[in-house]
Structure 1
Amino acid sequence: MTGTIAELKVDLEDFALEHTLTTVTDLSCEVERLVASDPETLMPFLWVEAPPSALDELEDVFATDETTDQVECITELYGERLYRMHWIRRIELLVQILVEEEGTILSASGSADGWHLRLLFPTRDALSRTDDYCRSHDLKYEILSIYNIDEGRKGRFGLTDAQQDTIVAAFEQGYYEIPREIDSEELATEFDISHQALSERLRRGHKALVKNTVMIGPRASDDDRDEQPPTSRQ
């Protein structure tokens, strides 16, 4: 039994917060945590970011969004706000993933362009059943990538095994310290690769970490990851 990770782009019309994301200018949001309290309600903790003038109208827009209820601002930090709320409509896809297939939402971010989800399914069959469910319920989405965890540790943060081993070694041996405790040539020797190959491996690894931990929104496919061609559910 092998876990499967899938990255999807879901149309706004088939997901929560369509009204909010299309009404508030330059709004983006990222799920910090998502709790499935029952089959009819999900409770996300949601970071939102927008220009100050747009944030001023945000709570009024939440109040007119039919997919949300019980919206509460938990904290505000440097132009971002953390909200706790209930999603009460257009949650069929998430309920299917979390409740029916016992999947996990690794990340979820939304903007006016749509929602981007990174999902962990316990088996490939669970993903297949979710695809069948979307077909039968006319839920529109695009598959950006699918890969198995046993292809390597790249299931975490999009890193290959070699990238993770190199970054960990660099950290443990002081490559990132000022001044450096080991230089790139010494580190390259440990991995029996050239200085140029080491620099490229670190660059790709850092890019993957930024994409999968910092950035909100769509992510380009990694050079180091074998992916299936994108397909669409229209």
Structure 2
Amino acid sequence: MATVMEFTSPADEFPLGTVFENLPGVTVELERLVPDEALIVPYFWVRGARASDIEAAFEAHRGVVNIELIDEVNDEYLLRARWKNDYYGILNALANANIVVLSGIGTKEGWQFEVRGDGRDRIAEFRADCQAHDIPIEITAVHSLLPVQGDGYELTESQREALVLAYERGYFDSPRTASLQEVAAELGISQQSLSSRIRRGHRRLIAKTLISP
């Protein structure tokens, strides 16, 4: 059974983290990806700064070969990064364990990840690899991928919890009777993490109910 793990890491530890030194107000969000140990080329979105400033700030990281601007949508920028072959970090450890990155959100406060592995053995392998290479991570949750009330929607426990609480508090009402910040505070997570959970939950529900197989 697939296992989902949530963990955090310091802002400057993960590649791309140096951006927060010069641009403390930006938010970085990784595109969902399956790391490959032979070619780790993540795509990521950045908001809260100009494109030219973003590219210059990212290139300062010790593991970065180059950063390329791919697209711009409503003041959010999609970029692509290539890493140096001799740099070993979180993405390498994820690739070695064949773990999928469901979400990765970075701010000056740190990085928050949600990843999925094929069973707990893969998760354990990733943790051991991080320890062996002195990669600091703090695990905040580990759980199996479960269906919602037996309907086969395959939401994670955290996605289901976020969607249900947001619904109960009136976040989806019009007009809204609860804000994203209020729901996040009740869950004890950041607003960015809640937004990511709701978005991924919506995507999975749509895929399982509205999209033909």
Shorter-chain TM-score bucket reads 0.5 to 0.7
Amino acid across the alignment from 1:25: P
Summarize the Cα distance change of 1:56–1:25 in structure 2 as closer, same or farther, 3 Å threshold.
Answer: farther
Query: Gaps (5+ residues) in structure 2?
Result: 149-153, 175-186, 201-213
Q: Kindly indicate whether residue 23 of structure 2 is the aligned counterpart of residue 27 of structure 1.
A: no
Identity of aligned residues (%): 20
Aligned residues: 174
Asked if structure 2 preserves the Cα contact closer than 8 Å seen for 1:29 and 1:111, the reply is yes
Asked if structure 1 preserves the Cα contact closer than 8 Å seen for 2:159 and 2:198, the reply is no
Match of 1:93 in 2: 90
- Structure with bigger gyration radius: 1
Could you tell me the TM-score, scaled by structure 1's length? Answer: 0.61
Asked if structure 1 preserves the Cα contact closer than 8 Å seen for 2:33 and 2:100, the reply is no
Asked if structure 2 preserves the Cα contact closer than 8 Å seen for 1:15 and 1:91, the reply is no
Summarize the Cα distance change of 1:49–1:32 in structure 2 as closer, same or farther, 3 Å threshold.
Answer: same
The Cα of 1:65 is off from its aligned counterpart by 2.7
The Cα of 1:56 is off from its aligned counterpart by 4.1
Q: Kindly indicate whether residue 100 of structure 2 is the aligned counterpart of residue 115 of structure 1.
A: no
Q: Report SS of the residue matched to 1:46.
A: strand
The Cα of 1:157 is off from its aligned counterpart by 6.3
> Which is richer in strand?
1
Where does 1:1-234 land on structure 2 (aligned, <5 Å)? 2-34=1-33, 36-39=35-38, 41-52=39-50, 55-88=51-84, 90-98=87-95, 100-150=96-146, 152=148, 153-155=154-156, 158-159=159-160, 163=164, 210-214=195-199
Q: Deviations over 1:17-63 (max 9, x none)?
A: 22222222311111114354544x410111001144xx442222233
Q: Deviations over 1:51-105 (max 9, x none)?
A: 44xx44222223333222232111112211111221336543322222x222111
Quote the RMSD (CA, aligned, Å).
3.4
Could you tell me the TM-score, scaled by structure 2's length? Answer: 0.67
The Cα of 1:141 is off from its aligned counterpart by 1.2
Query: Gaps (5+ residues) in structure 1?
Result: 168-174, 178-203, 216-234
